[in-house]
């Protein structure tokens, strides 16, 4: 950083439809897995904060749940998260998957009245013909005030450096908000619950992962081994048996995969104790949704 290049900092909200690649893009920018990402829609439920820093820039990314029309309390809480991110951000990144056949009306509605710079980020450019992607982007440009269009691949990294420079160009001079070595503001417990939830999406089908949440009951850090106890909360009694599986096979597999994922994340061995608890219709009840951290 020199006199000529002042330090810049600000917030960038990553907004888009489910499965557009928001979490994958943030992980690519940070060079670390901060936000869980699976091939299933609506994996992200919280606003996940990721901090990008270089010598003269700090961009605080707000990864948000996919924009939908909510149909129960949990989804309403998720959409409030998106609205908060939209309000907090200095720059909006509208992530668009040009392979998506469904309209982006809900996202356009959310962003139409906003008076902030919107960068249209056309993702998954490694999977589509550039000309076709440009035609689809033009339709969105007709409906929103877009500052610039960026063609990227969150998987390969194509176009990501140029996107960071474009965001930087829209930020105001200012000091960093966080220490430069920080990648997120969330505590380790948050990432533990998210990594277990990611395995639920990868190992179970249909409604099961959408009906579950994870509550870290205790986290005891030891010199060589961390001991973690967590509850998996299900929406209906019948789901408990599916999660445990015949002879406890399913929960055992979930425990092994979650443990490996958490150990890779924290760089240390852990002992993981998982239990399944039923909270009948927790997703529909506002107080349960709030109590479980949404």
pLDDT digits (tens, 9 = 90+) for 142-168: 999 999 999 999 999 999 999 999 999
Cβ partners under 8 Å of residue 180, min gap 6: 53, 58
Measured between alpha carbons, how far is 28 from 22 in angstroms, rounded to an integer?
10
Can you tell me the mean pLDDT for 248-259? Answer: 97
What number of H helices and E strands is found in the chain? 10, 10
Q: Is residue 292 predicted with pLDDT exceeding 90?
A: no
Can you tell me the mean pLDDT for 67-79? Answer: 91
With CA atoms as reference, report the closest residue to 21 among 205, 185, 156.
156
Q: Is residue 103 predicted with pLDDT exceeding 90?
A: no
pLDDT band at 196 (very low <50, low <70, confident <90, very high): very high
pLDDT at 235: 93
Measured between alpha carbons, how far is 207 from 190 in angstroms, rounded to an integer?
23
- Find out whether 247 is annotated in a ligand binding site: no
Can you tell me the mean pLDDT for 85-111? Answer: 92
Q: What is the pLDDT of residues 114-123, one digit of tens each?
A: 899 999 999 9
- Give every strand in the sheet of 225-234, ordered side by side: 213-220, 225-234, 269-278
pLDDT at 3: 59
Q: Of residues 38 and 232, which shows the higher confidence score?
A: 232
SS3 for 271? strand
Q: Of residues 3 and 272, which shows the higher confidence score?
A: 272
SS3 for 20? coil
Q: What is the pLDDT of residues 211-250, one digit of tens each?
A: 999 999 999 999 999 999 999 999 999 999 999 999 999 9
pLDDT at 104: 87
- Find out whether 161 is annotated in a ligand binding site: no
- Find out whether 66 is annotated in a ligand binding site: yes
Specify the pTM. Answer: 0.89
What spatial distance separates the first Cα and last Cα of the chain, rounded to whole Å? 39
Q: Is residue 75 predicted with pLDDT exceeding 70?
A: yes
For the chain, what percent of residues have pLDDT higher than 70? 99
Q: What is the pLDDT of residues 269-290, one digit of tens each?
A: 999 999 999 999 999 999 998 8
pLDDT at 40: 86
- Find out whether 12 is annotated in a ligand binding site: no
- Find out whether 258 is annotated in a ligand binding site: no
- Find out whether 8 is annotated in a ligand binding site: no
In Å, what is the CA distance from 124 to each residue of 57, 159, 272, 277? 26, 11, 36, 38
- Find out whether 17 is annotated in a ligand binding site: yes
pLDDT at 249: 96
Tokens describing residue 77: 């809480």
pLDDT at 102: 84
- Find out whether 6 is annotated in a ligand binding site: no
- Find out whether 24 is annotated in a ligand binding site: no
- Find out whether 124 is annotated in a ligand binding site: yes
* Neighbour-count burial of 106, counting CB atoms closer than 10 A to its CB (0-12 exposed, 13-18 middle, 19+ buried): middle
In Å, what is the CA distance from 16 to each residue of 70, 92, 111, 129? 15, 10, 10, 21
pLDDT band at 113 (very low <50, low <70, confident <90, very high): confident
- Find out whether 98 is annotated in a ligand binding site: no
Can you tell me the mean pLDDT for 139-143? Answer: 91
Please give the mean pLDDT across all residues of the chain.
93
Measured between alpha carbons, how far is 120 from 149 in angstroms, rounded to an integer?
5
For residue 67, the 8-state DSSP code is: P
Rounded to an integer, what is the distance from CA 146 to the centroid of its chain? 23
pLDDT band at 54 (very low <50, low <70, confident <90, very high): very high
Q: Is residue 1 predicted with pLDDT exceeding 70?
A: no
Q: Is residue 2 predicted with pLDDT exceeding 80?
A: no
Please name the residue that has the structure tokens 């949704």: 289
SS3 for 202? helix
For residue 65, the 8-state DSSP code is: P
- Find out whether 222 is annotated in a ligand binding site: no
| All domains in the chain, ordered by first residue | 8-173 (3.40.50.300), 188-291 (3.30.300.20)
- Find out whether 35 is annotated in a ligand binding site: no
Contact 25, 152 (CB under 8 A): yes
**Beta strands 57-63; 8-16: pairing state:** parallel
Can you tell me the mean pLDDT for 71-79? Answer: 91
In Å, what is the CA distance from 197 to each residue of 71, 81, 231, 275? 21, 18, 11, 13
- Find out whether 126 is annotated in a ligand binding site: yes
């Amino acid at each position: 950083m020199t006199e000529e290049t002042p330090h810049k900092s600000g917030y960038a909200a990553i907004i888009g439809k489910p499965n557009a690649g928001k979490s994958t893009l943030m992980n690519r920018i940070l060079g670390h897995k901060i936000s869980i990402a699976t091939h299933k829609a609506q994996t992200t439920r919280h606003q996940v904060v990721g901090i990008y820093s270089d010598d003269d820039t700090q961009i605080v990314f707000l990864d948000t749940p996919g924009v939908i029309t909510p149909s129960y309390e949990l989804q309403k809480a998720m959409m409030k998260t998106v609205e908060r991110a939209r309000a907090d951000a200095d720059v909006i990144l509208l992530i668009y998957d040009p392979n998506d056949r469904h309209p982006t009306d809900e996202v356009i509605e959310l962003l139409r009245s906003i008076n902030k710079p919107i960068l249209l980020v056309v993702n998954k450019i490694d999977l589509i013909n550039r000309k076709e992607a440009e035609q689809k982007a033009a339709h969105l440009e007709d409906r929103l005030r877009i500052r610039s269009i960026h063609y990227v691949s969150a998987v390969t990294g194509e176009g990501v450096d140029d996107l960071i420079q474009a965001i930087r160009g829209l930020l105001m001079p200012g000091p960093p908000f966080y220490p430069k070595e920080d990648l997120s503001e969330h505590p380790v417990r948050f990432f533990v619950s998210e990594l277990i939830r990611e395995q639920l999406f990868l190992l179970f089908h249909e409604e099961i992962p959408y009906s579950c949440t994870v509550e870290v009951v205790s986290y005891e850090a030891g010199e060589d081994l961390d001991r973690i106890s967590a509850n998996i909360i299900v929406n209906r009694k019948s789901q408990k048996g599916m999660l445990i599986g015949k002879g406890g096979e399913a929960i055992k597999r979930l425990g092994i995969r979650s443990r490996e994922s958490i150990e890779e994340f924290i760089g240390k061995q852990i002992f993981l104790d998982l239990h399944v608890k039923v909270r009948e219709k927790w997703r529909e009840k506002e107080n349960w949704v709030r109590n479980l951290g949404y």
